[in-house]
Chains A and B, each alone.
Chain A
Amino acid sequence: MKISVLQHAPAAHLPTRHGDPTPTSRNLDPLSHPFARARERMRALNAAKMDRMFAKPFIASLEGHIDAVEVLCKKPGTVNIVASGSWDGGIIVHDIAEQKHVHQMQGVHEGKVSGLCFADNDRLLSCGVDCNIKLWDVSPQEQTSQQKPLNVFAGKSPLNSIDHHRTDPLFATASNIVQIWDENRSAAISNLTFPTATETVTSVRFNLAEASVLGSIGSDRSFTLYDIRTGKAERRVIMQMQSNALSWSPTFPTSVLLASEDHNLYTFDVRNLSNPTHIYKAHVAAVMSCDWSPTGLEFVSGGWDRTLRIWREGRGTQPEVYHTKRMQRVSSSIFTADARFVVSGSDDGNVRIWKVKASDKLGIITARERVAIEYRESLKERWKHDQEVGKISRTRHLPKPVYQAAKLKRTMLEAQRVKEERRRKHTRAGGSKPKAERKKVVLAEHT
């Protein structure tokens, strides 16, 4: 009879030297892991709770403006430099990493600063409702001083927006027409306008990949595409409501994002302007600003409803929502170049810095911590359909007025839908067909 009795060699399971880690052994037999699913669900639940516990998105508020912040722009090629222009005509260049002012100028324009953009190096272009465009040197300075602009370009009518060409020393401004300027000439080199348009252009932006194409939005609910090579307006669409801001996708050159007065954001493919590719619905008041993340996977929008929302591209509902008690209507919002932070400027005169992922940990993260974070993320993803886990990770606290407004809006839309349905039911069959939401947006297309 051959006999062998199970025995564990202690040498294999104990550390060889003092201070060594104890060896671990694994047995993947499901029988040795009872309740694996139930325990994993508990872990997912805890992960979801921890995620909400650590959700502290607000980082800092940068003061300095006397009046509401109107416009923000980031300096291309840097992560930390952001310029803000205000209704009092002041401009501040912030370093958001050190949370301090790099450069500060007071009263550079009569009335509000309506547009800001960086030219190359440390030069900043600003335009105002006083019909002037000024070029500034904003290299770091010691203290505030009365500073003279490098150059002043005189426009004919109040300017609403300015954007610089990606590579050439050109910039575009928006007033009642779109004008293209050369940095070295004092007068506009070309005027771009759609033949039949008599609108005020509110914003103009160069495409980031096809650098000679630019888009503008105007007060007669239009979105217009121009090409500076042909020197004329190419296409124009009239929408149901006016747009307040536009932003070109940094990774998908044909995609443009419009922040509309009707509480929604729309992405359009400029090859087919008859209907938007996506509708993003969550704001309960007009959307005032929008900006793509440099990754092109997310974008931020700020609204008249005093909230800042961060959307995932292609997901039209349930954005991350940020708000504070003191933040007023958000008039401008931008992503930083590292896609980790969002900067917002609001009517209360402050520039605020937020994390894109609310529960992100700033500072050094050890490898072990990183693994734990990733494991928690994957658990949440796997168990998101579980009722409790999903509810915890979905639910966001909203300020009462926003919550009530959302509720009211929902009720009204539902009532409208029901009414429409009833009307359809009681008219001749086929008399009126339901129209898809995306087909309702564009009223007319001109070429």
Chain B
Amino acid sequence: MLLVGDAGWMTADNEMERTWRVGQNEIVKGAGMEGAKGRQEWRLDGGPYRSRYSRNGRHLAIVGSTGHVATFDWQTGTIHAELQLQETCRDITFLQDQSFFAVAQKKYVFIYDRNGVELHRLKSHIEPTRLEFLPYHWLLATVGNPGYLKYQDTSTGAIVAEHRTKAGACRTMTQNRHNAIIHLGHQNGVVSLWTPNLPHPAVQLLAHLGPVVSLSVDPSTGGRYMASSGADGTVKIWDCRNWKGAVREWVTRGGGAELEWSAKGALAVATGGSVNVYTKPSIQTPFAAKAASPLYLTHAIPHRPLTSVRFCPFQDILVVGHNAGLSSLLVPRSGEPNFDSNEADPFENKKRRQEREVKGLLDKIRPDMIALDPDFVGSLAPPTRLTTAVHDKLDIPFARLPRLERLRVQGKADETELDADTDAVATEDDGGKNKKSRAEREKRKMRGKGKSLKRYLRKQRKNVIDPTAVAIRAKLEKQRQERRVAKAIEKGEMEPKKPSALDRFKRS
């Protein structure tokens, strides 16, 4: 089946109506029975909650900061696992599908299976604060209070990379789903982009004056836009292609805002006691004034702080985690209506899930293929910069050039031998003072100088016609001629040639 789903929508009847005036109750009324299931309030103790959807949007994992962890199928209401871990938990993420999830706990990262059985304690991830799973590379990326970004391969268990960010504790991380770059927001206002292959950030940018609170990358444009929010309440939209200043920025009330971009490009900003949603064309168009783009939807939640916002994949649902549990809101036009069964299928059965897991393992991309441009795979390598022509043969890489050619490319070649030869010829042509034959001069010159090898080499070279040497000789000869003319003019032996308009047609 090909693109049969209808996206949600919300249209005003007349000029005076505004979508942001529409409350959740009205949306629920308009949504119908099935759609209204998405509007839910989960009242939970153990306060502020964070959540994460599985890739097909069917399963939700939630974690409260005091240690309440639950994963469930939110459509049928089946709980897979519910745990009271009784220690600080900071983040949760599903791994390849709903059968495993990782929790960032007080000291380490733990991996649990679908039934809530602890499988692994990842002791190398110390005091983690944020988790991200890169599904196509099977990498679990964590960052924590020590400020280390660590990548662990969840299929082999090997730590792939460890990067010291050198920016202290880090509480903000997000991934770009289209190139698997990890974005980190630091306490000093810097946002840095990391790959497992580089020991330093691929991009580093001073985004805010003060700590960065939240980051999100727009999936609807292939990761072209990034939104960041600072503790001072500013929200900025960045163009990831050039980073030349923010595309748009505005100040929100109530301090650091949680951000999340939906699959269709709606940006949810949870700040203070309310969630605001902005939509696509206006949020990404450059705008000089520091003002928010037209509001699409807003919803007030009286349970500060709002600690997480997540859009549900393939649904028009936004889940907001707050102090008193979670509330899921309906945001029409935010979800992708058509899923692809090969990538993520909300309706997949057990057999297909198993098959997809195996296929995913077979197609696992190596961590060293992560780069800013994901399409570099299979495209032609850019031409190496240091190439040169030797004997009219182009594109010999610098490393494979003979030594003399390398020196010539670098401009360090010693051409004195050639110069000496031609100089000698020149002075003889002058018919001037140096009447000694070349053999004699050479004999004298060589005495005690230990240059017999040079002489030998020159003799060897005499009967070999090297086109590059010939060209260099010709060039030197030309320069010498110019110098000679200049000297003659200076002495007054020669009249300087008057520039003529026809000179431009002269062949040089």
Partner of B377, one of A27, A31, A34, A38: A38
A38, B365: Cβ atoms closer than 8 Å: yes
A38, B1: Cβ atoms closer than 8 Å: no
Closest CB in chain A relative to B195 CB, distance in Å:
13
Partner of B349, one of A22, A29, A31, A35: A22
Supply 7 A–B pairs (Cβ within 8 Å), ascending by A.
A1-B11, A4-B10, A22-B352, A23-B1, A25-B338, A39-B363, A41-B377
Given known pairs A7-B34, A39-B365, the reply for A25 and B177 (CB within 8 Å) is no
B377, A8: Cβ atoms closer than 8 Å: no
User: Whole-angstrom distance between the alpha carbons of A46 and B352 in the complex?
Assistant: 21
Given known pairs A27-B340, A31-B222, A32-B340, the reply for A37 and B10 (CB within 8 Å) is no
A5, B26: Cβ atoms closer than 8 Å: no
Asked if B314 is at the interface of the complex by the 8 Å CB criterion, the answer is yes
User: Whole-angstrom distance between the alpha carbons of A38 and B369 in the complex?
Assistant: 8
Which residues of the other chain, B, contact A39 by a CB distance below 8 angstroms? 136, 363, 365
**Surface stretch bound by B, among A9-17, A123-131, A230-238, A297-305:** A9-17
Closest CB in chain A relative to B468 CB, distance in Å:
16
Asked if A42 is at the interface of the complex by the 8 Å CB criterion, the answer is yes
Given known pairs A33-B343, A35-B136, the reply for A5 and B330 (CB within 8 Å) is yes
Which residues of the other chain, B, contact A23 by a CB distance below 8 angstroms? 1
Which residues of the other chain, A, contact B338 by a CB distance below 8 angstroms? 25, 27, 29, 32
Classify chain B: how many residues form its interface, as a range: 35 or more
With A6-B8, A30-B222 already in contact, 7 other A-B pairs whose C-beta atoms are closer than 8 Å: A13-B345, A27-B3, A32-B336, A35-B178, A38-B136, A43-B363, A386-B378
Asked if A3 is at the interface of the complex by the 8 Å CB criterion, the answer is yes
Asked if B440 is at the interface of the complex by the 8 Å CB criterion, the answer is no
Partner of B35, one of A7, A10, A28, A386: A7
Partner of A3, one of B38, B332, B348: B332
Taken residue by residue from 91 to 129, chain B's Cβ proximity to chain A (1 for < 8 Å, 0 otherwise) reads as 000000000000000000000000000000000000000
A46, B362: Cβ atoms closer than 8 Å: yes
Which residues of the other chain, A, contact B337 by a CB distance below 8 angstroms? 6
Closest CB in chain A relative to B212 CB, distance in Å:
25
User: Whole-angstrom distance between the alpha carbons of A186 and B22 in the complex?
Assistant: 109
B136, A5: Cβ atoms closer than 8 Å: no
Partner of B8, one of A4, A13, A28: A4
Which residues of the other chain, B, contact A10 by a CB distance below 8 angstroms? 347
Closest CB in chain B relative to A4 CB, distance in Å:
5
Which residues of the other chain, A, contact B369 by a CB distance below 8 angstroms? 38
Which residues of the other chain, A, contact B377 by a CB distance below 8 angstroms? 37-38, 41
Which residues of the other chain, A, contact B9 by a CB distance below 8 angstroms? 2-4
User: Whole-angstrom distance between the alpha carbons of A35 and B31 in the complex?
Assistant: 35
B1, A25: Cβ atoms closer than 8 Å: yes
Of chain B, the residue at the smallest CB distance from A22 is: B349
B26, A26: Cβ atoms closer than 8 Å: no
Closest CB in chain A relative to B161 CB, distance in Å:
18
Asked if B7 is at the interface of the complex by the 8 Å CB criterion, the answer is yes
Given known pairs A31-B219, A35-B180, A38-B374, the reply for A5 and B30 (CB within 8 Å) is yes
Asked if B339 is at the interface of the complex by the 8 Å CB criterion, the answer is yes
Given known pairs A22-B349, A35-B374, the reply for A7 and B1 (CB within 8 Å) is no
Closest CB in chain A relative to B28 CB, distance in Å:
9
Partner of A24, one of B1, B31, B315, B336: B1
A26, B340: Cβ atoms closer than 8 Å: yes
Asked if B32 is at the interface of the complex by the 8 Å CB criterion, the answer is yes
What is the predominant secondary structure among interface residues of chain B facing chain A?
loop
Of chain B, the residue at the smallest CB distance from A9 is: B34
* B1-28 interface (Cβ within 8 A of A): 1-13, 17, 19, 22, 26-27
Of chain A, the residue at the smallest CB distance from B371 is: A38
Binding site for B on A (CB under 8 A): 1-8, 10, 12-14, 22-35, 37-43, 46, 383, 386
Partner of A25, one of B8, B222, B341: B341
Closest CB in chain A relative to B451 CB, distance in Å:
27
User: Whole-angstrom distance between the alpha carbons of A33 and B136 in the complex?
Assistant: 10
User: Whole-angstrom distance between the alpha carbons of A252 and B3 in the complex?
Assistant: 50
A33, B340: Cβ atoms closer than 8 Å: yes
B362, A42: Cβ atoms closer than 8 Å: yes
User: Whole-angstrom distance between the alpha carbons of A31 and B374 in the complex?
Assistant: 12
Which residues of the other chain, B, contact A33 by a CB distance below 8 angstroms? 340, 343
Taken residue by residue from 341 to 384, chain B's Cβ proximity to chain A (1 for < 8 Å, 0 otherwise) reads as 11101111100100000000011111001000011011000000
User: Whole-angstrom distance between the alpha carbons of A200 and B100 in the complex?
Assistant: 79
Given known pairs A22-B348, A33-B343, A386-B378, the reply for A5 and B365 (CB within 8 Å) is no
Asked if B220 is at the interface of the complex by the 8 Å CB criterion, the answer is yes
Which residues of the other chain, A, contact B341 by a CB distance below 8 angstroms? 24-26
B363, A14: Cβ atoms closer than 8 Å: no
Of chain A, the residue at the smallest CB distance from B360 is: A39
User: Whole-angstrom distance between the alpha carbons of A23 and B1 in the complex?
Assistant: 8
B1, A42: Cβ atoms closer than 8 Å: no
User: Whole-angstrom distance between the alpha carbons of A1 and B21 in the complex?
Assistant: 10
Which residues of the other chain, B, contact A4 by a CB distance below 8 angstroms? 6, 8-10, 30-31, 35, 332
Q: Which 7 A-B pairs have the closest CB atoms?
A: A3-B30, A5-B35, A5-B31, A13-B347, A24-B341, A6-B8, A27-B340
A3, B363: Cβ atoms closer than 8 Å: no
User: Whole-angstrom distance between the alpha carbons of A2 and B179 in the complex?
Assistant: 37
A6, B13: Cβ atoms closer than 8 Å: no
Of chain A, the residue at the smallest CB distance from B18 is: A1
Asked if B335 is at the interface of the complex by the 8 Å CB criterion, the answer is yes
Given known pairs A8-B5, A22-B347, A38-B369, the reply for A1 and B19 (CB within 8 Å) is yes
User: Whole-angstrom distance between the alpha carbons of A6 and B330 in the complex?
Assistant: 9
Which residues of the other chain, B, contact A3 by a CB distance below 8 angstroms? 8-10, 22, 26-27, 30-31, 332
A6, B375: Cβ atoms closer than 8 Å: no
Closest CB in chain A relative to B73 CB, distance in Å:
13
A28, B38: Cβ atoms closer than 8 Å: no
B8, A37: Cβ atoms closer than 8 Å: no
Asked if B258 is at the interface of the complex by the 8 Å CB criterion, the answer is no
Which residues of the other chain, B, contact A7 by a CB distance below 8 angstroms? 31-32, 34-35
User: Whole-angstrom distance between the alpha carbons of A66 and B211 in the complex?
Assistant: 88
Partner of B2, one of A5, A28, A383: A28
Which residues of the other chain, A, contact B10 by a CB distance below 8 angstroms? 1-4
Given known pairs A5-B8, A22-B352, A42-B362, the reply for A37 and B374 (CB within 8 Å) is yes
Q: Which of A3, A12, A28 has the most CB of B within 10 A?
A: A3
Closest CB in chain A relative to B347 CB, distance in Å:
4
User: Whole-angstrom distance between the alpha carbons of A427 and B30 in the complex?
Assistant: 94
Which residues of the other chain, A, contact B1 by a CB distance below 8 angstroms? 12, 23-26
Asked if B132 is at the interface of the complex by the 8 Å CB criterion, the answer is no
Of chain A, the residue at the smallest CB distance from B3 is: A27
B178, A34: Cβ atoms closer than 8 Å: yes
Partner of A1, one of B3, B6, B22, B177: B22
A5, B378: Cβ atoms closer than 8 Å: no
Which residues of the other chain, A, contact B336 by a CB distance below 8 angstroms? 27, 32
Asked if B249 is at the interface of the complex by the 8 Å CB criterion, the answer is no
Which residues of the other chain, A, contact B347 by a CB distance below 8 angstroms? 8, 10, 13-14, 22
Asked if B316 is at the interface of the complex by the 8 Å CB criterion, the answer is yes
Partner of B13, one of A1, A28, A46, A386: A1
User: Whole-angstrom distance between the alpha carbons of A33 and B177 in the complex?
Assistant: 10
User: Whole-angstrom distance between the alpha carbons of A32 and B178 in the complex?
Assistant: 9
Which residues of the other chain, A, contact B11 by a CB distance below 8 angstroms? 1-2
Which residues of the other chain, B, contact A24 by a CB distance below 8 angstroms? 1, 341-342, 345
User: Whole-angstrom distance between the alpha carbons of A2 and B349 in the complex?
Assistant: 35
Q: Which of A12, A34, A35 has the most CB of B within 10 A?
A: A35
Which residues of the other chain, A, contact B366 by a CB distance below 8 angstroms? 42
B27, A5: Cβ atoms closer than 8 Å: yes
User: Whole-angstrom distance between the alpha carbons of A94 and B324 in the complex?
Assistant: 84
B340, A25: Cβ atoms closer than 8 Å: yes
Closest CB in chain A relative to B210 CB, distance in Å:
33
User: Whole-angstrom distance between the alpha carbons of A14 and B347 in the complex?
Assistant: 7
Closest CB in chain B relative to A92 CB, distance in Å:
47
User: Whole-angstrom distance between the alpha carbons of A40 and B27 in the complex?
Assistant: 42
Which residues of the other chain, A, contact B314 by a CB distance below 8 angstroms? 6, 8
Which residues of the other chain, A, contact B26 by a CB distance below 8 angstroms? 1, 3
